[in-house]
Amino acid sequence: MRDSIKFKTMQKQEKYYECYDASLSLWKVPFEAYYVNTEQGDTHIISCGNENGEPLVLLHAMGCSSTMWYPNIQELSKHFKIYAVDYFGDLNKSIPINFPSQMAQCTTWFKQVLDALHIEKCYLAGLSYGGFLSTQFSLSIPHRIKKLILMNPAGTFAQIYNRFIVRILTLAQFPNRFVVNNFINWLSVEKNAWNKLLVSQFHAGFKYGMMKGKIPPFEISDEDLTKLEVPTLLLLGEGEVICDVQKAYHRASNLVKNIQVELVPSAGHLLSLEKPEYVNQQMIKFFVNH
């Protein structure tokens, strides 16, 4: 299927898709990849795991796509029926009609994805921008979400630093391998945590694709955070560089009623890639045993 919103030519789309498929080869479990239709276009899903398990929906970080869950998927798939969803406003295999401009569009999209997957209520986990979206969905449609795990959610509890925005703009303007590696190393405490195939895919997204994000992640108001009632686990890397992690810790702890907040030592922004064993243990413990 042709994606003319994110890729100017079919050749560029195919080059990116080749890198996406190469990253997906890192998933060491049987999986299905398919599309579900929504008002916003066709959404790409990767599903796997325990057919009798509770549904777990995963929302990825910006620019990374659902392939980024490769270090987590083998352990999580033993316990859950997993649906890794390519957010339609990002660089991945979902094919949008247009980029979203209002959060209401995103919420409608997510509801329609759940409906298409025949999921009445799910566990939900999101990293970075995926964490920001997961928080918004938990505020808007809490009756569809059993429990929530947020990993370094972008914005949300603490405003994003301007230096992060500058680096993203630089990456979009000069998408070469040096700038990509610089950006990834800046985000990370654990260097070389990313598999080379995922690095190549991330690079290809910015090299061949276009991402015109119209909904930047923002700090959620005190009033709205007090309305978050879905049981929540918040994991924050102590080495977080995109926002004030101490502010995020204290706002979450003081404003959200039903939340458990953990500071993860020796970890940067992309927790699931840097500390996969720890993240897997925490997810299983919170969703299954908590």
Which CATH superfamily, name and number, covers 10-289?
Answer: Alpha/Beta hydrolase fold, catalytic domain (3.40.50.1820)
Q: Are 105 and 41 in contact (CB under 8 A)?
A: no
Res. 289: pLDDT tops 80 = no
pLDDT averaged over every residue in the chain: 94
Residue 183: its pLDDT value, please?
A: 93
What is the percentage of the chain residues whose pLDDT exceeds 90? 86
**pLDDT at position 98, please?**
84
Q: Which pLDDT band, with edges at 50, 70 and 90, does 3 fall under? A: confident
Check residues 101 and 78 and name the one with the higher pLDDT.
78
How far apart CA 258 and CA 289 sit, in angstroms, is 16
Whether the per-residue pLDDT at 243 is higher than 70: the answer is yes
Reported confidence tier of residue 172, pLDDT bands at 50, 70, 90? confident
Give the mean pLDDT of 33-61: 96
The one catalytic residue among 118, 203, 269, 290: 269
Q: Tell me: the pLDDT tens digits for 177-212?
A: 999 999 999 999 987 889 999 999 999 999 999 877
**Is 65:93 a contact under the CB 8 Å cutoff?**
yes
Give the least confident one: 75-84, 97-106, 216-225, 271-280: 97-106
143 labelled catalytic: no
User: In the prediction, which pLDDT does 192 show?
Assistant: 81
Distance CA 102, CA 114 (A): 19
User: How does residue 290 score in pLDDT terms, banded at 50, 70 and 90?
Assistant: low
Paired strand residues for 124: 57, 148
Query: What is the DSSP code (8-state) at residue 287?
Result: I
Residue 1's pLDDT band (cuts 50, 70, 90): confident
Q: CA–CA separation, 50 vs 42, rounded Å? A: 25
Beta-bridge partner residues of 56: 82, 123
